[in-house]
C-alpha cells in the first residue's frame, strides 16, 4: 500500500509498504479522505507539537473516513483512551494520559491506503455524508467540545478569534445555541468573509490588537460574554482577555507554535474570568454525525481544496499558506 511519512521538517515522502494486519479489537479501514489539521502543520513545519517531538518517520493524519473491512462507511475517532484509568472513569476520556492518538507521537495516522484501528472508534455514516465530509466530523467534534465547555446561553454575545475550520464551526454551533451576536476576527480576509457568511454579525480583520476598540464599541464597552481563542496566536489570546466582560469565560482552543500561552494576569484577576482549555473532544461523534446528516451544520462549504494522495506535497504547502479553509487528501 502507499503511505506518506514525515521524516523531518517539511520532509514528506511517499512509500510502498505492506498492508497492515488488524490486531485484537481492531478492524482494517480502506482510507478514503483525510483532512490536514493545524496540528498536522505543527508536525510538518516544526517537527513536533508541544512537548511531543518527531522520533521516527511518522504517518500524519487524524481527520479521516473510509470503508471498514466489513463494508461499512465509517468516520473514525482518532483518540483511543484506555477506559480504565481514574480520568476515564470520571468521564474525561479526552484527558486520558494513556491515550493513543492517530498521527501523533509513536502512532501512525491515516495518510495511507489502509490502516487498522479500534472497532469501537469507528462510527457508521449515512450515504448522504460524503467521505470528505466524514473527515470533517473530527474538527466538528473539537468545536462541539469547545462550545460545551462554554455553556452558551440564549441571547449572549460572543467573540470568535480565529476563523479557520474550528472557528467557523464554532460560529455555526453558537448560532444553533441561540447566541444573539457573534463577533469574529482573523488575519485573512477570505476567512472573515466566510465567518460572515456563516452567521457572524460583525467581522474584523485582525490588526495587532487594534480591533479591540471596535469590539468594545460594538458591545457598548461591556465586552463579549464568551471569547473563543481559536488561532493559536498570542495576539488572539490578548484580544480575548481584553475584550471579555467581567465574569465572562475565555475558551482557549488554539495551539501556539512555541508551546506557550500568556495573558495579562491583572486583567484576568480583576475581571474574575473563567478560563477553560480545549483538549480535543469528548464523546461527540454521534451528535456530530446527526447534525451534519440533518443539515444543521455545514461542513461541505469549508472544504476548499482536494488533492489525491500523490499530490501530498502540494496539499501540505497549500494548507501551510492558509489558502482557503480545509484541505482534504482523497484516496
Asked if residue 191 lies in contact with residue 175, where contact means CB atoms within 8 angstroms, the answer is no
- Grid cell locating 278: 480545549
> What is the mean pLDDT of the segment spanning 142-150?
98
Q: Are 142 and 41 in contact (CB under 8 A)?
A: no
String of DSSP letters for 76-97:
E--EE--S-SHHHHTT-GGG-T
Sole residue written with cell 448522504: 128
Going by C-alpha positions, the residue among 168, 109, 108 that lies closest to residue 143 is 168
Mind listing the domains of the chain with CATH numbers?
Answer: 2-136+299-330 (3.90.180.10), 141-277 (3.40.50.720)
What is the C-alpha separation between 165 and 250, in angstroms, rounded? 19
Q: Whole-angstrom Cα distance, residue 82 to residue 286?
A: 20
Q: Are 58 and 103 a contacting pair, CB within 8 Å?
A: yes
Let me know: does 221 contact 194? Beta carbons within 8 Å. no
Q: For 154-189, write each residue's pLDDT tens digit.
A: 999 999 999 999 999 999 999 999 999 999 999 999
Distance of CA 278 to the CA centre of its chain: 10
CA distance 124 to 305: 25
Residue 131 has pLDDT above 90, yes or no: yes
pLDDT at 50: 83
pTM for this predicted structure:
0.97
Bridge partner list, 112: 3
Q: What is the mean pLDDT of the chain?
A: 97
Q: pLDDT band at residue 243, thresholds of 50, 70 and 90?
A: very high
pLDDT of 8 > 90? The answer is yes
Q: Assess whether pLDDT exceeds 90 at residue 51.
A: no
CA distances from residue 6 to 45, 57, 71, 315 in whole angstroms, order as listed: 10, 5, 30, 14
Is residue 288 very low, low, confident or very high in pLDDT (cuts 50, 70, 90)?
very high
Beta-bridge mates of residue 114: 30
What percent of the chain is modeled with pLDDT above 90? 96
Alpha helices in the chain (DSSP H): 38-46, 86-89, 131-135, 137-150, 165-177, 189-197, 211-218, 234-243, 265-271, 285-293, 312-320
Amino acid at each position: 500500500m502507499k503511505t506518506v511519512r514525515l521524516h523531518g521538517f517539511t520532509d514528506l515522502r511517499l512509500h510502498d509498504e505492506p498492508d497492515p494486519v488488524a490486531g485484537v479489537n481492531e478492524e482494517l479501514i480502506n482510507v478514503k479522505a483525510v483532512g490536514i489539521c493545524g496540528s498536522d502543520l505543527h508536525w510538518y513545519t516544526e517537527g513536533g507539537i508541544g512537548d511531543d517531538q518527531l522520533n521516527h518517520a511518522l504517518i500524519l493524519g487524524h481527520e479521516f473516513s473510509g470503508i471498514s473491512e466489513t463494508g461499512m462507511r465509517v468516520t473514525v475517532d482518532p483518540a483511543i483512551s484506555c477506559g480504565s484509568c481514574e480520568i476515564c472513569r470520571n468521564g474525561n476520556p479526552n484527558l486520558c494520559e494513556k491515550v493513543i492518538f492517530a498521527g501523533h507521537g509513536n502512532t501512525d495516522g491515516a495518510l495511507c491506503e489502509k490502516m487498522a484501528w479500534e472497532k469501537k472508534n469507528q462510527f457508521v455514516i449515512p450515504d448522504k455524508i460524503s467521505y470528505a465530509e466524514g473527515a470533517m466530523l473530527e474538527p466538528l467534534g473539537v468545536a462541539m467540545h469547545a462550545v460545551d465547555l462554554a455553556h452558551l446561553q440564549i441571547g449572549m454575545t460572543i467573540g470568535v478569534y480565529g476563523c479557520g475550520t474550528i472557528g467557523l464551526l464554532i460560529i455555526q454551533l453558537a448560532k444553533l445555541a441561540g447566541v444573539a451576536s457573534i463577533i469574529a476576527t482573523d488575519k485573512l480576509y477570505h476567512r472573515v468573509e466566510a465567518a460572515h457568511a456563516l452567521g457572524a454579525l460583525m467581522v474584523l480583520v485582525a490588526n495587532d490588537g487594534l480591533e479591540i476598540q471596535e469590539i468594545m464599541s460594538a458591545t457598548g464597552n461591556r465586552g463579549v460574554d464568551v471569547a473563543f481563542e481559536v488561532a493559536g496566536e498570542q495576539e488572539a489570546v490578548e484580544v480575548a482577555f481584553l475584550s471579555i466582560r467581567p465574569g465572562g469565560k475565555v475558551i482557549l482552543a488554539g495551539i501556539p507554535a512555541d508551546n506557550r500561552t500568556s495573558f495579562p494576569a491583572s486583567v484576568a484577576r480583576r475581571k474574575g474570568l473563567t478560563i477553560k482549555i480545549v483538549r480535543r473532544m469528548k464523546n461527540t461523534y454521534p451528535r456530530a454525525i446527526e447534525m451534519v446528516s440533518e443539515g444543521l451544520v455545514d461542513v461541505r462549504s469549508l472544504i476548499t481544496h482536494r488533492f489525491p494522495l500523490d499530490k501530498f506535497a502540494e496539499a501540505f504547502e497549500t494548507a501551510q499558506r492558509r489558502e482557503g479553509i480545509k484541505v482534504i487528501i482523497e484516496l
